[in-house]
């Protein structure tokens, strides 16, 4: 029997027992990229140990037929499918999902640029078609997504594979997630008490209202790693401008130096040094795509560097991220869209975060206790 990396075993235990909270009788689906096979096997074992009644494993083929992770099947679909196939609702995937209690997605990218030449309009159309499946999965199953380190992801992060493994595994395995949950519950009280948020920084002066909205705890239940508090924004309240610190990434495409101007809650001007045409094409996906659906506050100070992986990057302590498009209903969001696109502003270099004219964070450091 091959030796198992203990870091992989620990990650699997966290995913099944803490994140997915699997219990006896649950029916589970593991959707895994091929390179995550070692983790998929360990997750499978942990699900069986937890008493799952049925566990299915899908490799490479994402049930949404559109994935954050490139694979040959999705590429073939977008290259060969006719417009009527792009617009066809995936009934089999829908039926399978409605028989599930637990959904676990293991990303392990072989090629981070695989979708870069696919027409953004095709991707946008497909995203709208499969949105009901995603909504059902989010609301009706115990779900979690995570990453398994690969050479491709290490290259994106400008690291060797071993360096990247030493970045990924500690961010998941070395955190006391119960303690993080309790800490962020205290932060939520501060966020929920605020009415207006003011974000200041290089080429950024943005105001928005969050009064009456409800902050949620990114405590590792659905993302792993995690470490954020997020809420929604009054849909017509955002005004001002923001320039994002890092490239915005969307299905293999990179958008550099993204600058957005808002009026009455809507992006009225979107510019980028790279990818501006596709940026606007994506934001024209539907009526809600130019409105902020989520304000997230990164609060995982174990994650310190940008790696071109939103699962990690949006959690960086001392950053905020604003997601254009779909907003989470549990936060009180009323914004609907097939899009949910997180873009990150690093406040650690000259940034400030204000709640109701009170400075609560300067250069990424909290000035309030929680």
Quick one: what percent of the chain has pLDDT higher than 70?
A: 97
Q: Determine which of 6-20, 108-122, 218-232 has the lowest per-residue pLDDT on average.
A: 108-122
Q: What is the mean pLDDT of residues 293-317?
A: 94
Residue 121 has pLDDT above 90, yes or no: no
pLDDT at 61: 63
Of 127, 267, 262, 256, nearest to 207 by C-alpha is 262
Grade residue 281 by pLDDT with cuts at 50, 70 and 90.
very high
Extents of the domains making up the chain: 6-173, 177-366
pLDDT for position 63: 45
Virtual CA dihedral for 118, 121, 125, 127, nearest 10 degrees? 60
Give the per-residue pLDDT at 248. 93
pLDDT digit string, tens, across residues 192-231: 999 999 999 999 999 999 999 999 999 999 999 999 999 9
Domain with residues 6-173, CATH architecture: 3-Layer(aba) Sandwich (3.40)
pLDDT value, residue 1: 62
Question: pLDDT for 32-51, tens place per residue?
Answer: 999 999 999 999 999 999 99
pLDDT digits (tens, 9 = 90+) for 156-197: 999 999 999 999 999 999 999 999 999 999 999 999 999 999
Average pLDDT, integer, range 21-25: 96
pLDDT band at 139 (very low <50, low <70, confident <90, very high): confident
Strands 223-224 vs 142-147: parallel, antiparallel or unpaired: parallel
φ and ψ at residue 67, rounded to 5 degrees: -135, 160
Residues 240-260 have pLDDT tens digits of 999 998 999 887 788 999 999
The tokens describing 10, both together, are: 């620990």
Q: Is the pLDDT of residue 68 over 60?
A: no
| Range scoring the smallest mean pLDDT among 114-118, 130-134, 240-244, 342-346 | 114-118
Question: What's the confidence (pLDDT) of residue 79?
Answer: 87
- Predicted confidence band of residue 352 (pLDDT cuts 50, 70, 90): very high
The answer to whether the peptide bond before residue 273 is cis (omega within 30 degrees of 0) is no
Binned at pLDDT 50, 70 and 90, residue 293 comes out as very high
179-184 own/partner pairs: CB under 8 Å, 24+ apart:
180/219, 180/220, 180/226, 180/227, 180/300, 181/217, 181/219, 181/220, 183/370, 184/217, 184/218, 184/219, 184/227, 184/228, 184/229, 184/299
Is residue 294 within 8 Å of 232, Cβ to Cβ? yes
Model confidence at 350: pLDDT above 60? yes
Q: What is the mean pLDDT of residues 21-29?
A: 96
The structure's pTM equals: 0.84
pLDDT for 260 equals 98
pLDDT tier at 66, thresholds 50, 70, 90: low
In this model, does residue 65 exceed pLDDT 70? no
80 burial (CB, 10 Å; 0-12 / 13-18 / 19+) is: exposed
> What pLDDT score was predicted for residue 64?
47
- Residue 280, pLDDT above cutoff 50: yes
Mean pLDDT, all residues of the chain: 92
Residue 17 pLDDT > 90, yes or no? yes
Residues pairing with 254 in the sheet: 249
**Lowest-confidence pick of 131-140, 257-266, 290-299:** 131-140
What CA–CA distance (Å, rounded) separates 43 from 194?
A: 40
């Amino acid at each position: 029997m091959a030796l198992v990396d203990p870091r992989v075993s620990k990650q699997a235990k966290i995913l099944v027992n803490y994140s997915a909270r699997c219990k006896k009788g649950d029916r589970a689906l593991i959707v895994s990229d091929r390179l995550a096979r070692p983790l998929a096997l360990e997750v499978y074992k942990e699900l069986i140990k937890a008493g799952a009644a049925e566990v299915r494993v899908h490799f490479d083929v994402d049930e949404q037929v559109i994935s954050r992770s490139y694979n040959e099947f999705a590429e073939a679909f977008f290259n060969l499918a006719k417009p009527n196939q792009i617009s066809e609702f995936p009934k089999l995937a829908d039926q399978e999902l409605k028989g599930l209690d637990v959904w676990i997605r293991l990303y392990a990218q072989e090629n981070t640029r695989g979708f870069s030449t696919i027409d953004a309009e095709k991707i946008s159309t497909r995203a709208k078609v499969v949105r009901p499946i995603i909504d059902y999965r989010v609301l009706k199953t115990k779900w979690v997504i995570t990453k398994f380190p690969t050479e491709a992801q290490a290259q994106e992060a400008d690291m060797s594979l071993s360096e990247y493994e030493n970045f990924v595994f500690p961010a998941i395995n070395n955190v006391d997630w119960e303690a993080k949950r309790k800490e962020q519950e205290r932060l939520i009280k501060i966020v929920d008490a605020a009415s207006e948020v003011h974000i200041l920084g290089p080429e950024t002066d943005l105001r928005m209202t969050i009064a009456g909205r409800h902050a949620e705890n990114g405590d590792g239940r659905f993302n792993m790693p995690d470490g954020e508090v997020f809420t929604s924004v009054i849909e017509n309240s955002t005004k001002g401008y923001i320039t994002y610190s890092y490239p915005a990434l969307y299905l293999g495409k990179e958008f550099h130096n993204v600058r957005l101007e808002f009026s009455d809650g809507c992006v009225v001007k979107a510019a980028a040094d790279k990818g501006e045409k596709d940026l606007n094409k994506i934001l024209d996906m539907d009526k809600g795509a130019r409105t902020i659906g989520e304000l997230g506050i990164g609060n995982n100070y174990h994650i310190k560097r940008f790696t071109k992986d939103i699962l990690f990057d949006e959690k960086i302590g001392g950053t905020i991220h604003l997601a254009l498009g779909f907003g989470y209903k549990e936060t009180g969001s009323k914004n609907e869209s097939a899009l949910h696109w997180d873009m990150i502003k690093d406040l650690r270099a000259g940034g400030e975060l204000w709640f109701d004219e009170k400075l609560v964070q300067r250069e990424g450091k909290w000035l309030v206790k929680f």
